[in-house]
């Protein structure tokens, strides 16, 4: 299959993570082939996803017969069984799948997946926990963390910035973060510049080091 933006995606395992990923891919109008060995889950998702096959992905011959090697992208949603997760990922590597996302439960599990050839290892439970911890602090409305402790967050502005332009607030020099965008009530998000005035009801999009964003968000 051609390696294009709209190329079909292979999803193995329709537990919570795999099913959520597959459903979101379908909402983006991507064709999905899902492989799941539990017949109840196959029945549940057969009318929602493009193709759902009842099969055991631990068997490389089964994957080969299903054309798994023709997919440019695959998601391994099997996580509760480390043996199954590793074996399925190794099968996809052997079949030449170019981009493999694999769910991991623990760092050691993830390290094994990386060493056998998974291109992206996802820790859904840990990632969700970290995100929730940041949001519970109160001022942060949304939060995405990237590599090297860099993050982008949506937040209410601290009181000290109300009524001032970004240049006057001097947020970057004081707190080491950048205000990327701003949304005023009833208006769309716009890119921020030095002359942008912040009001109390605005929402900010900020970027920077995780600790610096938390320090800024902790301001009254």
Mean pLDDT computed over every residue of the chain: 89
Q: How many angstroms separate the CA atoms of 206 and 179, rounded?
A: 4
- Whether the per-residue pLDDT at 7 is higher than 90: the answer is no
Ranges of CATH 3.30.70.1450 domains, the chain: 127-217
Contact indicator for 58, 90 with CB cutoff of 8 Å: no
Burial 176-188 (b: 16+ CB within 10 A, else e): ebebebbeeeeee
Looking at domain 9-122, its CATH superfamily turns out to be: NAD(P)-binding Rossmann-like Domain (3.40.50.720)
What is the architecture, at CATH level 2, of domain 127-217?
A: 2-Layer Sandwich (3.30)
Cα–Cα distances in angstroms (integers) from residue 61 to residues 85, 92, 95, 113, 193, in the given order: 17, 11, 10, 21, 57
- Whether the per-residue pLDDT at 6 is higher than 70: the answer is no
Q: Which residue has the higher pLDDT, 176 or 2?
A: 176
Q: Which residue has the higher pLDDT, 125 or 36?
A: 36
Cα three-residue angle 146-149-150, rounded to 5 degrees? 55
Q: Which residue has the higher pLDDT, 138 or 209?
A: 209
**Intra-chain end-to-end CA distance of the chain, in Å:** 54
Report yes or no on whether pTM surpasses 0.85.
no
Cα–Cα distances in angstroms (integers) from residue 66 to residues 31, 59, 129, in the given order: 15, 11, 36
The predicted structure's pLDDT at residue 55: 95
- Whether the per-residue pLDDT at 30 is higher than 90: the answer is no
Contact indicator for 196, 209 with CB cutoff of 8 Å: no
Could you report the per-residue pLDDT of 137-195, keeping only the tens digit for each? 667 888 887 767 788 999 999 999 999 999 999 999 999 999 999 999 888 889 999 99
Could you report the per-residue pLDDT of 76-121, keeping only the tens digit for each? 999 778 999 999 999 999 999 999 999 998 889 999 999 999 999 9
The predicted structure's pLDDT at residue 1: 39
Q: How many angstroms separate the CA atoms of 93 and 213, rounded?
A: 38
157: which DSSP letter?
A: P
Contact indicator for 113, 89 with CB cutoff of 8 Å: yes
């Amino acid at each position: 299959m051609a390696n294009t933006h709209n190329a079909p995606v292979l999803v193995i395992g329709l537990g919570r993570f795999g099913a959520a990923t597959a459903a979101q891919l379908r909402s983006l109008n991507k064709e999905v082939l899902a492989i799941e060995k539990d017949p109840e889950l196959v029945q549940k998702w057969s009318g929602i996803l493009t193709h759902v096959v009842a099969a055991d992905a631990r068997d490389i011959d089964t994957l080969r017969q299903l054309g798994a090697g023709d997919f440019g992208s695959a998601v391994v949603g099997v996580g509760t069984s480390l043996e199954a997760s590793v074996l399925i990922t190794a099968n996809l590597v052997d079949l030449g799948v170019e981009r493999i996302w694999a769910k991991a439960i623990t760092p050691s599990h993830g390290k094994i997946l990386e060493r056998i050839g998974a291109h992206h290892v996802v820790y859904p439970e840990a990632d969700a926990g970290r995100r929730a911890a940041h949001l519970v602090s109160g001022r942060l409305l949304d939060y995405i963390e990237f590599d090297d402790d860099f993050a982008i967050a949506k937040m209410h502005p601290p009181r000290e910035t109300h009524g001032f332009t970004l240049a006057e607030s001097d947020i970057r020099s004081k707190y080491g973060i950048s205000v990327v965008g701003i949304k005023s009530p009833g208006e769309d998000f716009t890119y921020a510049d030095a002359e942008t005035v912040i009001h109390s009801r605005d929402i900010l999009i900020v970027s920077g080091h995780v600790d610096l964003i938390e320090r800024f968000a902790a301001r009254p």
